[in-house]
């Protein structure tokens, strides 16, 4: 495997996912820049591993499909816009190869996260956390759930199972 592939897979992708999760937790926001970096990094990775035009088109189709569906979820008020864009940018990396697994795992983690946050909101915020703006925001009954955490966790679990990962490891 080339050093560039190692940096992309072992450094950039996981770092972006970790930052997206922590950003969503602390600020309830996933930056458009993060999603654009994911897309650009995918393009670089696709060039390094030599994805064919057909393979690239399938990856783009997976990302576009997820964007269309998650944009509908956003329009319905079910998820945030950052979550929709993050899911689509991540789907671009996975293509259809592991897309269903990614969506099922992120759904399962997201469901558990949602239940945990709702349950925790039933209890008073601990005194030590009352000075933390992000904790107060997360504890608020009208605040959504930082679903970027589930998306990032699922992405990190699925990445080693993807065709793009296997192709990079074969370099």
* pLDDT tens-digit map of 50-81: 899 999 999 999 999 999 999 999 999 999 99
Where helices occur in the chain by DSSP H, the ranges are: 3-7, 13-27, 32-49, 53-75, 81-94, 99-120, 133-139, 148-158, 163-169
Task: Judge whether residue 1 has pLDDT over 60.
Answer: no
Range of the domain at 89: 3-169
Largest CA distance in the chain: 56
> What does the pLDDT look like over 124-166, one tens digit per residue?
999 999 999 999 999 998 899 999 999 999 999 999 998 888 8
Give the pLDDT score at 6: 67
Q: Report the number of distinct structural domains present in the chain.
A: 1
Tokens 């393009």, located at residue: 43
Task: Assign 93 to helix, strand or coil.
Answer: helix
CA distance 32 to 25: 16
Locate 68 and state its tokens. 């269309």
Confidence of residue 5 (pLDDT cuts 50, 70, 90): low
Burial of residue 13 (CB within 10 Å: 0-12, 13-18, 19+) is buried
- Among residues 18, 30, 168, which one has the least CA distance to residue 93? 168
| Pair 169, 1: CB distance under 8 Å | yes
């Amino acid at each position: 495997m080339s050093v560039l592939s190692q940096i992309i897979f072992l450094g950039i992708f996981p770092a972006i996912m970790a930052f997206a999760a922590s950003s969503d937790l602390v600020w309830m926001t996933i930056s458009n820049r993060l999603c654009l970096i994911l897309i650009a990094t995918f393009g670089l990775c696709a060039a390094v591993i030599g994805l064919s035009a057909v393979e690239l088109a399938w990856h783009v189709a997976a990302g576009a499909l997820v964007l269309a569906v998650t944009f509908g979820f956003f329009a319905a008020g079910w998820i945030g816009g950052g979550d929709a864009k993050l899911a689509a940018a991540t789907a671009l990396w996975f293509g259809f190869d592991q897309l269903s697994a990614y969506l099922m795992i992120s759904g399962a983690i997201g469901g558990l996260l949602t239940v945990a946050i709702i349950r925790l909101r039933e209890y008073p915020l601990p005194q030590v956390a009352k000075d933390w703006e992000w904790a107060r925001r997360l504890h608020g009954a009208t605040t959504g759930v930082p679903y970027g955490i589930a998306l990032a966790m699922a992405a990190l679990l699925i990445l080693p199972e993807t065709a793009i990962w296997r192709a990079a490891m074969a370099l």
